[in-house]
Chain A
């Protein structure tokens, strides 16, 4: 009955090619695999002395961050530069919209500078969809995190990391631990893991931090970390924001760590070869013990490295082909 296009139609063109990258939801397994395959081919680039390929030469990528970020913005910037694009960082938290300019006006103004791609982070769910719906047809939008909704490039780099270390998804049990309610990363990861065929996705946290009807996303819920870690292959820890205490979500960091903090002892309930992931930034002693964060099972820094290759893959696949027919995903 409603007029808005479903995400699927907004993200893919009529041939099924990536047009925008807004959410994992509704994408096909082959496309997710292709993103990871493409990232694989870029991994070697990032290890060369000359870390550049000319795929996006002459293209302008704008990092439009309405919320502060270090890691995500930096890896997007590096990824764009390694693809030879020109990169412009616009930090809107200190820019026009705080002077009363509307989101749409901001987009139209920057778009008028002949940009080819927006990488957008915004505090409101649906912001990337809104922008994708209003940009000119030649402009692509990559969602770098919108509210609680989605952070699809983070989910893809996590999938890439899991695939590299575990070989595949079919037999995997994955636990996502912590503040699922407010986490866009968790939502995107749950979609990705289900699409890629993981055996079981568990979400673990106190009831206050699990969203309503979370089972409908295709997960099993658990309110006890010791029980939830039983025989898992991958543990994904989420960051606990300080403001959750004042919102009456949890009583204290101390109690949270006592019940949901990942310690070496707790991790021993997981499979012996289980890996520990965290999208960062890590709150040591709140959701994870330093010993585990820096331990041999932790792949947190590899995630960051993989972020560059994954973002190169997604940007190259989503870039609209230009008049010379320079197809964005010709590596694929």
Chain B
């Protein structure tokens, strides 16, 4: 049984309701029960002093790979759960590219059960759009939906052709499943490993042109109108794709998008010196793209910032740049990178936190990411001023593949409550 908790004197920010002020928050039986005025007969089992700190809903991460099942040499659900909690994340979606892939209820259930065992996070598996992520035959989406998958997608794996895409969108729409698409035309991306532009040209790295993303977005948008599917574009990287999505939204097409936190800070020049830690997919793009991504977050065209957490074993990054595995471990840098946007004046603090809470909740149609009474007591408390250094003593993920290693960042989670239980306390 969870306890009765009083979170006292913090600056409570709940982007969903627009609440922002000094408040006491009362939690009981795993839920938010009241603000400022304790319910009758409430006696706290313990108090958390939150003076000088920010209290907000626990974060919802639309894309984090915990590597289980199948890639336990990189990370495990139990192992990563500590980093998840330390990042202030209470709900996360894991893409279907596990091994076996999430194309059966058994795999989806396995992942959810392993997450439940940790008692500190809610994992929402994204079902595979096609069987085995092979891009040809549809997965049993109805069964996946019954097993609790709210969304289906094909992760980084391509679909065989546009007919499969059309059928998949139609079929998913029949069950009102959200389709998560990481838009990338496989032929245009070819064997690229860096943004096609002056930096990849100079370094002789095979490029992934911006058109790999825009062509895929255009295809999907056209087929959305035709099929009535709901689509979420994951990890948008190019300014032009943002503009296309904004226009579609203005036309009333039910499309949403997220961006990986690192895309809002790093650019193509960060791969200079062949820094494999900055080898990510989609690739780090130009400054102009970054500015448009930031704007889109401000305007709400992009609803969420995700971690796109991809922990790797050290060897995955020890090779010539193109031969290294793309992706960075990024759970615990999610909040600091979002706060940095507020610090730089790109976003208001409330908007930055919305992109981690109410924004992703709306994408998934979840009753999470808000502090209204009755909501699950998933709470993140953080010190917005505390500086900490990414390193041995602070980093809890098994994946150390972050370009921020040894870098000092600002904003540190002090407490994470998951369903009213303390999941992390610093």
B250 within 8 A of A: no
Q: Contact: A217 with B202, CB < 8 Å?
A: yes
1/0 contact string of A12-54 vs chain B (CB within 8 Å): 0000000000000100000000000000000000000000000
Residues of B within 8 A of A258 (CB): none
29 A-B Cβ contacts within 8 A? A1-B266, A2-B272, A2-B275, A2-B403, A3-B277, A4-B277, A10-B273, A102-B319, A103-B320, A103-B323, A104-B318, A124-B322, A124-B323, A125-B203, A126-B203, A126-B205, A127-B320, A146-B204, A146-B320, A147-B322, A149-B203, A149-B205, A150-B204, A187-B202, A211-B201, A212-B196, A213-B197, A214-B201, A217-B202
1/0 contact string of A87-104 vs chain B (CB within 8 Å): 000000000000000111
Knowing that A2-B266, A125-B321, A213-B201 touch, tell me 6 more A-B residue pairs with CB under 8 angstroms: A2-B271, A2-B278, A104-B319, A125-B320, A134-B318, A184-B204
The CA of A78 and the CA of B404, in the complex, are separated in Å by: 45
B300 within 8 A of A: no
1/0 contact string of A144-181 vs chain B (CB within 8 Å): 00111110000000000000000000000000000000
B315 within 8 A of A: yes
A202 within 8 A of B: no
| Chain B: minimal CB distance from A85 (Å) | 26
Partner of A102, one of B197, B273, B278, B318: B318
Q: Contact: A6 with B406, CB < 8 Å?
A: no
1/0 contact string of A186-197 vs chain B (CB within 8 Å): 010000000000
A122 within 8 A of B: yes
B209 within 8 A of A: yes
Closest B residue by C-beta to A211 = B201
The CA of A2 and the CA of B278, in the complex, are separated in Å by: 7
Residues of B within 8 A of A127 (CB): 320
A7 within 8 A of B: yes
| Chain A: minimal CB distance from B269 (Å) | 9
Q: Contact: A124 with B200, CB < 8 Å?
A: no
Residues of B within 8 A of A2 (CB): 266, 270-273, 275, 277-278, 403
1/0 contact string of B179-212 vs chain A (CB within 8 Å): 0000000000000000011101111111101000
Q: Contact: A122 with B275, CB < 8 Å?
A: no
Q: Contact: B321 with A124, CB < 8 Å?
A: yes
A112 within 8 A of B: no
Closest A residue by C-beta to B407 = A1
1/0 contact string of A207-221 vs chain B (CB within 8 Å): 000011110110000
Q: Contact: B321 with A3, CB < 8 Å?
A: no
Residues of A within 8 A of B405 (CB): 3
Q: Contact: B319 with A212, CB < 8 Å?
A: no
| Chain A: minimal CB distance from B242 (Å) | 20
Chain A interface (Cβ < 8 Å from any Cβ of B): 1-7, 10, 25, 102-104, 122, 124-127, 129-130, 134, 146-150, 184, 187, 211-214, 216-217
Residues of A within 8 A of B323 (CB): 103, 124
Quick one: given A1-B403, A148-B206, are A125 and B319 in contact (CB under 8 Å)?
no
| Chain A: minimal CB distance from B223 (Å) | 26
B274 within 8 A of A: yes
A-B interface, 3 closest residue pairs, ranked by CB to CB distance from nearest = A149-B204, A4-B273, A148-B204
Residues of A within 8 A of B112 (CB): none
B8 within 8 A of A: no
Closest A residue by C-beta to B322 = A124
Q: Contact: B315 with A126, CB < 8 Å?
A: no
| Chain A: minimal CB distance from B152 (Å) | 33
Chain B, range 104-159, C-beta contacts under 8 Å to A = none
| Chain B: minimal CB distance from A203 (Å) | 11
The CA of A126 and the CA of B318, in the complex, are separated in Å by: 12
| Chain A: minimal CB distance from B206 (Å) | 7
Residues of A within 8 A of B271 (CB): 2
Q: Contact: A216 with B274, CB < 8 Å?
A: no
Partner of A3, one of B198, B318, B406: B406
Closest B residue by C-beta to A22 = B274
The CA of A213 and the CA of B209, in the complex, are separated in Å by: 12
B298 within 8 A of A: no
Residues of B within 8 A of A212 (CB): 196-198, 200-201, 207, 209
B82 within 8 A of A: no
The CA of A122 and the CA of B407, in the complex, are separated in Å by: 32
B166 within 8 A of A: no
The CA of A3 and the CA of B404, in the complex, are separated in Å by: 8
Residues of A within 8 A of B197 (CB): 212-213
Q: Contact: B403 with A125, CB < 8 Å?
A: no
The CA of A129 and the CA of B315, in the complex, are separated in Å by: 16
Q: Contact: A213 with B198, CB < 8 Å?
A: yes
| Chain A: minimal CB distance from B315 (Å) | 6
B240 within 8 A of A: no
Q: Contact: A129 with B201, CB < 8 Å?
A: no
B265 within 8 A of A: yes
Quick one: given A125-B322, A146-B320, are A5 and B202 in contact (CB under 8 Å)?
no
The CA of A134 and the CA of B404, in the complex, are separated in Å by: 20
Q: Contact: A130 with B206, CB < 8 Å?
A: no
The CA of A148 and the CA of B191, in the complex, are separated in Å by: 13
Q: Contact: B319 with A103, CB < 8 Å?
A: yes
Residues of B within 8 A of A147 (CB): 204-205, 320, 322
Q: Contact: A148 with B205, CB < 8 Å?
A: yes
Closest B residue by C-beta to A215 = B198
| Chain B: minimal CB distance from A126 (Å) | 4
Q: Contact: B320 with A1, CB < 8 Å?
A: no
Closest B residue by C-beta to A147 = B204
The CA of A3 and the CA of B317, in the complex, are separated in Å by: 13
Chain B, range 396-426, C-beta contacts under 8 Å to A = 403-407
Residues of A within 8 A of B321 (CB): 124-126, 130
Residues of A within 8 A of B265 (CB): 1
Residues of B within 8 A of A187 (CB): 202, 204
The CA of A187 and the CA of B202, in the complex, are separated in Å by: 7
| Chain B: minimal CB distance from A265 (Å) | 32
Closest A residue by C-beta to B321 = A126
Closest A residue by C-beta to B406 = A3
The CA of A90 and the CA of B387, in the complex, are separated in Å by: 49
| Chain B: minimal CB distance from A25 (Å) | 7
Q: B270, B320, B323, B407: which has the most chain A beta carbons within 10 Å? A: B320
The CA of A130 and the CA of B321, in the complex, are separated in Å by: 8
Q: Contact: A217 with B201, CB < 8 Å?
A: yes
The CA of A1 and the CA of B274, in the complex, are separated in Å by: 13
Residues of A within 8 A of B407 (CB): 1
The CA of A147 and the CA of B193, in the complex, are separated in Å by: 13
Residues of A within 8 A of B315 (CB): 102, 104
